[in-house]
Amino acid sequence: MTVKEIIAIELANVNSIYLLKEGMFYRAYNRSAMRVVIYLKPFKVNHKFVKTVQQEIFYVGFPCSSLKSIQQHAIEKGWQILELSENGEDAGKKIVISGVSDKDEDYQPWVDKQYDPLNPPNGGLQDAVFDKQTNCVLKSLSSGEGFRERSVVMEDEPIIQLITDFPIENATPKEALMFVNKLKQLVRHGNVR
């Protein structure tokens, strides 16, 4: 399934979770990913910018061996599970869990929450203004293609609060190291270059 097809499915997705088998993993994208994280299991949400569609996509993934557990949670909530196969595909290549939610308005606020203050899309803190005296990020401006322009002002937000808010339990070792490096640069130089 192409990224364009996945995005088309997710744009029309009102109350379902689409789980797509990719190799030895199942993935859920955009609205489906949001519903998996909110209603079934709080997986780490990944995101990447896809040039072919000029859009940021969000996804969660889990090994095929975890599918039974996910399905059991859905059954306990009274949702319907349907395994689809198209054009000679293996059964279980696409699984639809329906009856989940009809709150489309939840998606954009969820997307906004996926970015932590030190790592917004296409920007990071390279444009941050940092006050060494108070250990505060005074202003950080960033905008990403495909997203509305936004200005984040974090007055009186000490570095300790940024550390406290960082989701270390969901971060990869690389993300944690990058986070520590950004903090180090903030303390040393007052901004990130």
Residue 69 confidence (pLDDT): 92
Find residue 16's DSSP bridge partners: 98
Q: How far apart are CA 4 and CA 129, in angstroms?
A: 38
My answer on whether 21 and 53 are in the same domain is: yes
Q: Which range (38-42, 151-155, 177-181) has the least confidence?
A: 151-155
Beta pairing class for 46-50 and 80-84: unpaired
- The domain boundary, picked from 65, 82, 111, lies at 111
Average pLDDT of the segment spanning 124-153: 41
Nearest to 86 by CA among 20, 32, 30: 20
- The domain boundary, picked from 63, 87, 111, lies at 111
Instruction: Write out 113-161 in H/E/C secondary structure.
Output: HCCCCCCCCCCCCCCCEEECCCCEEEEEEECCCCCCCEEECCCCCEHHH
- The CATH number given to whatever domain includes residue 85 is 3.40.1170
Average pLDDT of the segment spanning 36-55: 89
- The domain boundary, picked from 77, 111, 145, lies at 111
Split into its structural domains, the chain has a count of 2
Domain that holds residue 144: 115-189
My answer on whether 56 and 101 are in the same domain is: yes
My answer on whether 158 and 68 are in the same domain is: no
Average pLDDT of the segment spanning 72-93: 82
Q: Which of 110-114, 148-152, 167-171, 173-177 has the highest mean pLDDT?
A: 173-177
My answer on whether 26 and 96 are in the same domain is: yes
pLDDT at 42 over 70: yes
Torsion over CA of 42, 148, 127 and 116, rounded to 10 degrees? -10
Is this prediction's pTM over 0.85?
no
Average pLDDT of the segment spanning 134-163: 46
Are 18 and 66 spatial neighbours (Cβ–Cβ below 8 Å)? no
- Percent of the chain's residues with pLDDT above 70: 69
